[in-house]
Amino acid sequence: MTATGMRVGIHDLAFATTHQVLDLRTLAEHQGIDVNKYYIGIGQTEMSVPCADEDIVTMGAEAAAQIVARLRAEQQAEDGQAFDGIRTLLFATESGVDQSKSAGVFVHSLLGLGEHCRVVELKQACYSATAALQFALGIVARDESEKVLVIASDVARYALDSSGEPTQGAAAVAFLVTADPALIEIEPVSGLHTDDIDDFWRPNHLSTALVDGKYSLAAYLRALEGAWTEYRSRGGVDFEAIDRFCYHQPFTKMAVKAHDKLSALVGSPLDKDQRRAQVAASLELNRRTGNSYTASIYVGLLSLLERDDADLAGRRIGFFSYGSGSVSEFFTGVVRPGYRDVLRTAADERALDDRTAIDHARYRALHEGIDAAQGSDYETAAETPGPFRFAGVSAQVRRYARTAGGSPA
């Protein structure tokens, strides 16, 4: 709640992923290792893999279209008209498709949003969706009539046969930030931690990330301690006042390690099972999509709201957002009454179940094809069954289109 008594936060939250999937058993068999190294060791079972005509724009547009469609229905806007109910679109990603133009501008066009709209892309590794959330809260706090659409969309790519390969993945979330939110009221106190380190990065000439795995895990935990310490120093609630936790998930086991770290830091008496219960539901969607960088913490939030058996209304959630390099933030939010009415649980489950399973040869060809196409004009094969597709590059400009089943949201 703001100083004026206004509640601000997340009003709607939608999910999208690619339309292909690689079971990590397939990768383990190719590598000749026990699949439990992945299923149990890192807590991942599948990774979403983009079709040739899918990327962060198509995923982001598919997630955001669900929110815009609901707004259109609520406001009874006629289909095909420019929709002027959103004046700010913030697109968070570390998989940018252009060094200048925001990925959000492509989405703005695909969704048929009105011309009176600011559109910006934000980047700071996996943290920038949280930056977008905080910026959106400020816009709404200044004018309670504003609705800010935030999109977080990423494709996590590492070199073939590298240690990071099993932690790849892809997904997008979109969320609407408003006054009097229907899902989560974001509380005003947060703790921050920034450190100039080289734990994970992607130079301009590479399409795959570079990572110092052990160093990055240690940096993540050190940042958690720093952000939590400042959160408490600024008047944040104590650990016992938080019912559930959502962490950035480069792989789901990392969230478990982080929660154990925080529990030990505060001297919590909770046993292993009690600690797991505070995070378990937040891991389920990420376990099946793989790493989605900026989106992963909010995929975790959606998973928590959809998969936790308890009624979370009135419960407080702690969020730890981490982006390598590094910037992190700890903050909290309170679940609003009636939150289940806003969720699209069955549709989100179908999005995962309906993905086409691919074999290792197909996965490898798609991975290698990204670099092969760099710097040239080309058309992509029409593969995705989703509502939007990446059509290719013409005159060095990326082209996007609605598919036969697609229409303005």
333 and 347 housed in the same domain:
no
From start to end of 165-293, where are the E strands? 169-179, 184-194, 200-201, 210-211, 244-247
Residue 291 lies in a domain: yes
Domain boundary among 337, 364, 385: 337
Active site residues: 94, 126, 248
pTM attached to this predicted model: 0.95
Q: What is the pLDDT of residue 376?
A: 84
pLDDT of 109-133, one tens digit each?
A: 999 999 999 999 999 999 999 999 9
Whole-angstrom Cα distance, residue 286 to residue 170?
9
Whole-angstrom Cα distance, residue 71 to residue 356?
31
Q: What is the pLDDT of residue 183?
A: 98
25 and 76 housed in the same domain:
yes
Residue 3 lies in a domain: no
Q: What is the pLDDT of residue 4?
A: 66
Give 215's contacts (C-beta < 8 A, 6+ positions apart): 197, 199
Residue 2 lies in a domain: no
Residue 379 lies in a domain: yes
Whole-angstrom Cα distance, residue 62 to residue 91?
13
355 and 309 housed in the same domain:
no
179 and 189 housed in the same domain:
no
146 and 195 housed in the same domain:
no
Domain boundary among 280, 315, 337: 337
176 and 196 housed in the same domain:
no
Among candidates 27, 47, 49, which has minimal Cα distance to 37? 27
178 and 291 housed in the same domain:
no
235 and 87 housed in the same domain:
no
Q: In 3-state terms, what secondary structure has residue 338? A: coil
Size of the chain in residues: 409
Whole-angstrom Cα distance, residue 174 to residue 13?
6
Q: What is the pLDDT of residue 281?
A: 98
Residue 409 lies in a domain: no
Residue 234 lies in a domain: yes
Domain boundary among 291, 307, 337: 337
323 and 387 housed in the same domain:
no
Which residue segment(s) compose the domain that 259 sits in? 185-337
Number of domains within the chain: 2
22 and 154 housed in the same domain:
yes
In CATH, what number is assigned to the domain containing residue 72? 3.40.47.10
CA atoms within 13 A on the CB side of 367: 24
- Angle at alpha carbon of residue 81, lines to 79 and 82, rounded to 5°: 130
Q: Which residues of the chain have pLDDT under 50?
A: 77-79, 408-409
Q: Is 312 exposed, middle or buried (0-12, 13-18, 19+ CB in 10 A)?
A: buried
């993540």: which residue's tokens? 220
From start to end of 125-218, where are the E strands? 148-156, 169-179, 184-194, 200-201, 210-211
241 and 312 housed in the same domain:
yes
Residue 395 lies in a domain: yes
Q: What is the pLDDT of residue 3?
A: 59
121 and 199 housed in the same domain:
no
Whole-angstrom Cα distance, residue 383 to residue 362?
13
H or E element: which one contains 277?
helix 272-279
**CA-atom Rg of the chain in angstroms:** 20
From start to end of 183-282, where are the E strands? 184-194, 200-201, 210-211, 244-247
Q: What is the pLDDT of residue 396?
A: 93
Residue 407 lies in a domain: no
